[in-house]
Amino acid sequence: MKQVLVLNCGSSSIKYELFEMDQGRALEAGLVERIGEAKSCLKQTSSGSGTNWPSRTTEVSVPDHRHGIDMIRRVLSENASFDGGRHLVGIGHRAVHGGETFSRPTLIDDQVLAAIRDLIPLAPLHNPANLVGMEVARAAFPHVPQVAVFDTAYHQTLPRYAYHYAVPQDWYDSYRVRRYGFHGTSHQYVAKQIARHLGRSADELNTIVLHLGNGCSASAIRGGVSVDTSMGLTPLEGLMMGTRCGDLDPAILVHMGKQAGMSLSQLDTALNKQSGLKGLCGVNDMREVMAMAAGGDGAANLAVEIFVYRIKKYIGAYHAVLGRLDAIAFTAGIGQHSPEIRARSCRELEAMGIAIDPARNTAATGSETSEIQTVDSRVKVLVVATDEELEIAQQTLTCVRDAQ
Ligand code: ADP
């Protein structure tokens, strides 16, 4: 039996998931939260199936990431199948920003850590936390190969005209300003699932993937290769999100700086944390926003209208980018679970060959891949359950094997 542990280290949390790789089955998952705060907590879910696992929350003391990873190791040791880590063939780390340096999963060594450190200016919040996780996990599991799987890597295939911004060339040359794109692991996983479901090879399919969670992004995938994506230098660009604004006239920043006296860091906070659904109606959780809209709240209703309108614009744009479109996939929390958002995003697109069947749309639960287009729809419309952790585990295993 081969096992892979996936770690996702944030600044104050560590998510973990242990996989048995013969069948790609999760054995154990959990989250250490509020690291470094007075009351940290450990949430555990153990073997079962998917999101319905029984879960347990314990208050614990976790002063730093080293203690967090030690705790995860102890928790895993309680699972008989872990067997002291005897079957662990690799640890996969979610890494947020790989810049132009990393276009594939990479075995972690001192040089790789230095390169990820060099990319900190591009992801000042995420890369330092990812690095701490990698360093601590290397010390805790010194004999297990560790692999970095980058959120940006899948989009490194964008053509220059798609990733270049029309700004002074020196911004790219000296400051690495370009579109990188994020959620790459999810887009890649979903593109593969679409191909598997349709019984086709990924390299013969043109697809649009709509990842709609707290963060939202769209990608245009030609023959399995990402050719455009909506997030940019940072995850702020593109679709409207829970708390992020998405596409924006950049002169708004200058205007608000001059007129409202906002500083750069105030603007940064406003656009990342106080915009999107939250900025418009005070709430960032789509379920609540939709309930408010259904109850007659005008602000919530407008928020949902903008949300679906922007998705529709990206469908149109990426259809044009791809020329021939075979499939559109909805994924992540909102994409998998909201028939209404799916229906409204694709409304009146029949002329483009896209039509959703209301009964199939309502019946799609989001837990497995399903088709929701009408019989006449030229383009397939699918609901796909994304699994970034499983994709990281599989890429980790492949990377470890290739290195042997
Ligand atoms: P993250 O990006 O943090 O991984 P998820 O992919 O879990 O987030 O997506 C979270 C979003 O999905 C939230 O806005 C939540 O309200 C939304 N969501 C979950 N279930 C539903 C549902 N049934 N209808 C509408 N939105 C939903």
Q: What pLDDT is recorded for position 271?
A: 98
Same topology between domain 3-150 and domain 199-388: yes
Residue of minimum CA distance from atom 23 in ligand 1:
337
Give the Å distance between the CA of 400 and the centre of ligand 1.
33
Residues in contact with ligand 1 (CB, 6 Å cut-off):
213-215, 242, 285-287, 290, 332-334, 337-338
Residue of minimum CA distance from atom 4 in ligand 1:
213
Task: Evaluate if residue 58 carries a pLDDT over 90.
Answer: no
Q: Which amino acid is at 299?
A: A
Task: Evaluate if residue 175 carries a pLDDT over 50.
Answer: yes
pTM given for the model: 0.95
With beta carbons less than 8 A apart as the criterion, state whether 341 and 335 touch: yes
In CATH terms, the fold of domain 3-150 is Nucleotidyltransferase; domain 5 (3.30.420)
Pick the CATH number of 199-388 from 3.40.50.1100, 3.40.50.620, 3.30.450.20, 3.30.420.40: 3.30.420.40
Task: Evaluate if residue 291 carries a pLDDT over 70.
Answer: yes
Atom of ligand 1 nearest to the CA of 332: 6
* pLDDT band with cut points at 50, 70 and 90 for residue 360: very high
Task: Evaluate if residue 49 carries a pLDDT over 70.
Answer: no
Task: Render pLDDT for 325-341 as a digit per residue (tens, 0 to 9).
Answer: 999 999 999 999 999 99
Q: Beta partners for 93?
A: 7, 148
As a whole number, the mean pLDDT across the chain is: 95
If DSSP codes are grouped into helix, strand and coil, which group holds residue 32?
strand
Q: What pLDDT is recorded for position 14?
A: 94
Atom of ligand 1 nearest to the CA of 341: 25
Atom of ligand 1 nearest to the CA of 214: 2
Give the Å distance between the CA of 283 and the centre of ligand 1.
13
Domain ranges within the chain, ordered by starting residue: 3-150, 199-388
Residue of minimum CA distance from atom 24 in ligand 1:
338
Q: Beta partners for 356?
A: 373
- Positions annotated as catalytic residues are 151
Closest CA to 96 of 135, 15, 157, 150: 150
Task: Evaluate if residue 263 carries a pLDDT over 80.
Answer: yes
**Percent of the residues in the chain that have a pLDDT greater than 90, as a whole number:** 86
